[in-house]
Amino acid sequence: MAVSKLLLIVIAVSIVIVIGLVILIIALTSRNGRKNIQGDPGRRSYDPARVVPVIRSSICTGEKVAGFRDLQTGHVEEVMLIKNEKDLQQFRSEYGITGNIEVIY
């Protein structure tokens, strides 16, 4: 009898832990400040009041990554690797970006 109660407690705690991990994963993978535009699954938007588009460029390797910098924290969330001009144009068209994009090193 005591073993079955202990087993139920272990199962209940395990379920709570799994639910917590799922919530954590969802929170960490959410696109802060960005969302899909309704009706156009290939086009995304971003909140210019919260984030700005940037290109992060490595001074050592020259690797470039497009992303969004949070205006409050300065944290850059990387979105895609930019290997050539075609990739940059894809980033611009996906998010509807016009004008200059700041390059940070």
Question: Tell me: the pLDDT tens digits for 15-43?
Answer: 888 887 777 666 666 555 455 444 455 56
Give percent helix, percent strand, percent coil of the chain, each to the nearest 5.
35, 35, 30
Nearest to 77 by CA among 49, 47, 54: 54
Q: pLDDT tens, 43-76? A: 677 888 999 999 999 999 999 999 999 999 999 9
* pTM of the full structure: 0.60
Domain residues of the chain, as ranges?
1-30, 34-104
